[in-house]
A and B are shown apart, each in its own frame.
Chain A
Amino acid sequence: MRFWKFMATTAVGVVVGLGAAQAETTLTIATVNNPDMVVMQKYSAEYEAEKGVKLNWLVLDENTLRQRVTTDIATNGGQFDIITIGAYETPIWGKAGWLVPFDDLPADYDAEDMLPTVRDALSYEGKLYSVPFYAESAMTFYRKDLFEKAGLTMPDQPTWQQIADFAAKLDDKDNDIHGICVRGLPGWGENLALVGLMANVFGGVQFDMDWHSAVNSDNWKEAVQFYVDLANNYGPPGVVGNGFNENLALMSEGKCAMWNDATVAAGFLFDPKRSKVADKLGLAQMPIEKWNKGGAWLWAWALGVPSSSQQVDEAKAFIEWATSKGYIDMIGEKEGWVTIPPGTRKSTYENQNYLDAAPFAKPTLAAIENASLVDNTMEPKPYAGINFPLIPEMQAINNYLGQQVAAALTGKMSVSDALDDAAANADRVLQKAGYYK
């Protein structure tokens, strides 16, 4: 009896609780726990006090969040008022009608200040579906001290062949310094993020104009063979287990002579508290090879409002605050200029405080400005996207491809067999999805 009484009380309590929650404005935010988001959570208390709204935070890791938010949006659950989504989901979800478009940003928000490539990446058919919180591209990090000692000079725009030559000369396994650190962990957001870029500059496309997989083309095979040789000859042992985080740790411990990865890594690597190589780092653009575009990705973490939210206006108001010039200035003054959310506004890169504090600001801007989602491969392609195609089937296709590339890396399969297998899988997936019969 007591049990049922308890259950009944709980149920009543829940209903009453729901009623009470609706009395004041409560916004539920689902977000990743990347450092910039943690800072946003910290300073949002000021927004709560100022506007009299209450913010509830659900913080999850990237993959769990993606799954959680997708379930809620696809079932019209209405659990979230604000969601953190990336440059991959925004156009696809915008097209599906799952997001509220931002077509009425106020004049003082200065939407024209947004970097055009980032804005395009978060739009579908010209409508903005999420607002960038921070954006990143990729670049080459290298150890100036090791280059000097070996009498080498890193060009501003290296080629992969040059990178491999440098790696051969700088690889010093006796002193625990590896010629290059690369991503080997399988996954569309891990090894394939890099391999996709390499394939572009080696002249490859992931799908031909009829949507047939082209990862078993000669150019792709050449790129993946180059990647496998580079990683196995000059990379650290166990490279297949290394993703972004592992490489970040290796680089900041001083164990890599070079690393090609996300521009956000610069914020850590140039911070002497977190990195042993803060005063020894040099920066260059991502390498090119046969082709000079598509060598660096564009990624943005953005804030959007699901169409199932009951409080669209309040949610938009918070997003406008968190992505405004005023917010960036506040973080710069209170947390230090080097930690502001980068890559979203032109005005950020005109701010002398930021340019003085962040030696990586200009190369980051150049990388982001050059990263176009459409015009980036040697041969024509039917999809938008740089290192992965912006189609709903991408995760299934590229996770499998990532596994095969990892199998080639560890020598379980030849590069050629691995890519033939991955191409057949991609064709099967797209056939099932109705791209062709």
Chain B
Amino acid sequence: MSATKKKRQKLLRAIVGWLVALIMFFPVFWMALAAFKTEQDAAALPPLLFFHPTLENFAEMSERVGYLRHAWNSISVSFISTIFALLLAAPAAYVMAFHGTNRTRAVMLWMLSIRFMPAVGVLIPIYLILVSVRLLDTTFALTVIIGLSNLPLVVWMLYSYFKEVPSEILEAARMDGARPLTQLRYLLVPLTAPGIASTALLSIILAWNESFWAINITATDAGTLALAIASFANSEGLFWAKLSAASLASVAPILIFGWIMQRQLVRGLTFGAVK
């Protein structure tokens, strides 16, 4: 009796799991399909599942926007901004995790609260600053801004991973004369490597998908793939197929990267939970 019940529960779980996965995957699948349609097929009602695939959207995309240049900007901005954020966040998280005061909590919450602010609220001030220091449309400015805007999240994640490390280990190291930077480098970082890796991965993905700053402070030199996608929407004529092709080409690198790293990501996100 209980065996069949268990079986039934297992089946139900599998069905629900598949259903959720399919619902989440469907938009991506539909986008990938539309990327290989002609504009007329992409706009057809009822929607077409079977059609003659074409590569013309990709050809037009590479002709009209420099894909490689935008992709390179995306790669460099997302990786360097992540390194930048990690370098700033690691010492901060270390201090707050092991030398906390009674204000630590308030500081942490304040950092997080900054992320609640809509980016558009600071667009004009930041734009004015960039105009006066002549850094508009540079990957440098974009990297710094994205790195700083991901900083609170990175600090929070590192803080929670560092907290998992027993402070006795660090104490022992201090007894042996290890200074804070040495502790960080030889103890904390190796001990929490999976956590740091998943933090970095999340920060890279966030930076890769960032579109607000990319659209608003870059133009022809420092534009990332987000800016390239934005150039395919159109108010006079059909654009779904071209937009899908551009989106597919933009998410493909990060999708592949995420797929390769998924073991790290899952391990990092559940890190400590089994201790």
A residues near B, CB below 8 A? 3, 6-7, 10-11, 14, 17-18, 28, 30, 32-35, 38, 41, 56-62, 64, 67-68, 71-72, 74-80, 189, 243-246, 248-250, 252-253, 255, 262, 264, 268, 274
Q: Verify if B121 is at the interface (C-beta below 8 Å from A).
A: no
Contact residue among B44, B84, B136, B223 (Cβ-Cβ distance under 8 Å from A77)? B136
Contact residue among B65, B80, B236 (Cβ-Cβ distance under 8 Å from A59)? B65
10 A-B Cβ contacts within 8 A? A14-B135, A34-B237, A60-B230, A61-B231, A64-B230, A71-B124, A72-B127, A79-B136, A245-B43, A255-B45
Hey, which chain B residues are within 8 Å of A79, CB to CB?
136-137, 219
Q: Known contacts A76-B131, A253-B44: does B220 contact A57 (CB below 8 Å)?
A: yes
Q: Known contacts A33-B234, A61-B231, A264-B236: does B124 contact A75 (CB below 8 Å)?
A: yes
**A-contact 0/1 string along B220-233, CB 8 Å cutoff:** 11010001001111
Contact B231 A59 (CB under 8 A): yes
Interface centre among A71, A248, A255 (most CB of B within 10 A): A71
User: Which residue from chain A places its CB closest to the CB of B141 in the assembled complex?
Assistant: A14
Q: Verify if B78 is at the interface (C-beta below 8 Å from A).
A: no
Hey, which chain B residues are within 8 Å of A61, CB to CB?
230-235
Hey, which chain A residues are within 8 Å of B135, CB to CB?
14
Query: How far in angstroms is the closest Cβ of chain B from A10?
Result: 5
Hey, which chain B residues are within 8 Å of A244, CB to CB?
235-236
Chain B, interface size category, equals: 35 or more
Contact A35 B236 (CB under 8 A): yes
Contact residue among B139, B219, B231, B233 (Cβ-Cβ distance under 8 Å from A80)? B219
Hey, which chain A residues are within 8 Å of B178, CB to CB?
none
Contact A10 B216 (CB under 8 A): no
Query: How far in angstroms is the closest Cβ of chain A from B22?
Result: 24
Contact A245 B237 (CB under 8 A): yes
Q: Verify if B95 is at the interface (C-beta below 8 Å from A).
A: no
Contact B238 A18 (CB under 8 A): no
Contact A75 B131 (CB under 8 A): yes
Query: How far in angstroms is the closest Cβ of chain B from A341?
Result: 12
Contact residue among B83, B84, B238 (Cβ-Cβ distance under 8 Å from A245)? B238
Contact B215 A60 (CB under 8 A): yes
Contact residue among A3, A58, A246, A252 (Cβ-Cβ distance under 8 Å from B87)? A3
Contact A77 B127 (CB under 8 A): yes
4 closest A-B pairs by beta carbon, nearest first, are A61-B233, A56-B220, A59-B231, A249-B43
Q: Verify if B128 is at the interface (C-beta below 8 Å from A).
A: yes
Docked CA distance A432–B36 (Å): 50
Q: Known contacts A14-B138, A78-B131, A274-B40: does B235 contact A245 (CB below 8 Å)?
A: yes
Contact B127 A30 (CB under 8 A): no
Hey, which chain A residues are within 8 Å of B124, CB to CB?
71, 74-75
Contact B237 A268 (CB under 8 A): yes
Beyond A56-B219, A253-B45, 13 additional pairs, beta carbon < 8 A = A17-B221, A58-B220, A60-B231, A61-B231, A64-B215, A68-B216, A71-B124, A71-B127, A71-B216, A75-B124, A249-B45, A250-B45, A262-B236
Query: How far in angstroms is the closest Cβ of chain B from A273?
Result: 9
Docked CA distance A68–B214 (Å): 11
Contact B219 A248 (CB under 8 A): no
Contact residue among B44, B140, B236 (Cβ-Cβ distance under 8 Å from A34)? B236
Contact B140 A77 (CB under 8 A): no
Interface centre among A30, A76, A77, A80 (most CB of B within 10 A): A77
Interface centre among B45, B134, B216 (most CB of A within 10 A): B45
Query: How far in angstroms is the closest Cβ of chain B from A435?
Result: 25
Contact B131 A38 (CB under 8 A): no
Docked CA distance A57–B161 (Å): 45
Q: Which residues of chain B from 47 to 101 have a CB within 8 Å of any chain A CB?
A: 64-65, 80, 83-84, 87
Docked CA distance A18–B138 (Å): 10
Hey, which chain B residues are within 8 Å of A249, CB to CB?
40, 43-45, 238
Docked CA distance A264–B234 (Å): 14
Hey, which chain A residues are within 8 Å of B235, CB to CB?
32, 34, 61-62, 189, 243-245
Contact B83 A3 (CB under 8 A): yes
User: Which residue from chain B places its CB closest to the CB of A71 in the assembled complex?
Assistant: B127
Q: Known contacts A10-B139, A77-B136: does B123 contact A71 (CB below 8 Å)?
A: yes
Hey, which chain A residues are within 8 Å of B230, CB to CB?
60-61, 64
Query: How far in angstroms is the closest Cβ of chain A from B170?
Result: 25
Query: How far in angstroms is the closest Cβ of chain A from B168?
Result: 32
Docked CA distance A244–B219 (Å): 28
